[in-house]
Amino acid sequence: MKQYFSLLLLCLLLLSSTAQSVEIDGSLSITNSNELPIPGTLRWTGSDFEGWTGSEWVSLTAGNKVQDGSGNSYSTVKIGNQIWLDENLRTTKYNDGSDIPLAEDVTDWQSFTNGQSPGMCFYDDDRSANEFPYGALYNFYSIDTLVNGNKNVCPVGFHVPDQAELDSLKSELDAIASAGGLLKIPGTTYWDSPNTDANNAVGFDAYPAGRRGPSGTFAGKGRNNYLRSISEVNSTPNAFYGLLSYDNADFIVQTWNRGIGMSVRCLRD
């Protein structure tokens, strides 16, 4: 009990030193565990105190943060009535902590394709070079709950958007200007020239993460960002996705093969 009280006192002193305050109504616990805790739990991340609401970690100093199954933290951006993560997903675990099968070479990826089974990878099978800022690439089977054991790649309280939700994002932004330009990071440091009309006006931070084909070939980095949808096309090998490109300002919702590795951008439930 004495150790618990000392830790709680230290936490409150640190918060007060940065002009923060905590109001406690009921019980309070403090942890450094990555397991999902009870609501009201506080943790120290190494740079910030965060509190668990029951569905997400909320920073006490830097606004809301959301944690995926691997422990990565994300911020959110509101566009119309939708709340999106402001980065492509990079988790290697579902939000229950179980592993998403990770391809480390072309043979691994081909086995996911041939087995129509869940799989993910990082561009060029090089995580250190491509995890930031591009995120990971996921085949459709990794997000399909009928195939993956009813698991969710997105943080608790978030999901992979369906076709209608991608269409809604497009419609919301096209009423202002061409949606793709409003979503893409500007400049040509990451996007190939001309990166048409890119201004990232809504803070979506879209980077050109590219794709991985069913056979294992990588393509499109610098030129395209492919955003997965959970909606499939019945009686075909295809599923819906959203496309952003370097040479136009459109956001196009269309369909392509389920075995392709694409980015995932999560949407709040």
Mean pLDDT by 10 residues, the chain (269 residues): 43 45 58 67 71 67 77 93 97 97 98 98 98 98 97 97 98 97 98 98 97 98 98 96 98 98 98
- Do residue 37 and residue 151 come from a single domain? no
pLDDT of residue 44: 76
Is residue 145 in a domain? yes
pLDDT of residue 35: 61
Is residue 135 in a domain? yes
- Do residue 13 and residue 132 come from a single domain? no
Is residue 255 in a domain? yes
Q: Which of 117, 5, 13, 136 is nearest to 69 (CA)?
A: 136
Q: In the numeric block, which tokens belong to residue 39?
A: 């609501």
- Do residue 257 and residue 144 come from a single domain? yes
The distance in angstroms from the start CA to the end CA of the chain is 39
Do residues 130 and 122 lie in contact, with contact meaning Cβ atoms separated by under 8 Å?
Answer: yes
Collect all residues with Cβ–Cβ distance below 8 Å to 129 and sequence separation of at least 6.
123
Which structural domain, as residue segments, surrounds residue 172? 77-268
Beta strands in 14-157 (DSSP E): 29-31, 41-44, 49-52, 57-59, 66-67, 73-74, 76-79, 82-85, 120-121, 137-138
- Do residue 49 and residue 140 come from a single domain? no
- Do residue 39 and residue 110 come from a single domain? no
Is residue 72 in a domain? no
Q: Which of 20, 60, 18 is nearest to 43 (CA)?
A: 60
Q: In the numeric block, which tokens belong to residue 84?
A: 């999106």
Is residue 142 in a domain? yes
pLDDT of residue 46: 60
3-state DSSP percent of the chain in helix, strand and coil, to 5: 25, 30, 50
- What's the pTM? 0.79
- Do residue 114 and residue 58 come from a single domain? no
Domain boundary among 40, 64, 88: 64
- Do residue 102 and residue 174 come from a single domain? yes
Please tell me the total count of domains within the chain: 2
Is residue 140 in a domain? yes
- Do residue 124 and residue 209 come from a single domain? yes
- Do residue 37 and residue 135 come from a single domain? no
Is residue 70 in a domain? no
Class of residue 58 by CB neighbours under 10 A (exposed 0-12, middle 13-18, buried 19+): middle
- Do residue 99 and residue 205 come from a single domain? yes
List helix spans (H) across 144-225: 145-148, 163-174, 179-183
* Spatial separation of the C-alpha atoms in residues 147 and 133, rounded to whole Å: 29
Is residue 69 in a domain? no
- Do residue 220 and residue 179 come from a single domain? yes
- Do residue 82 and residue 190 come from a single domain? yes
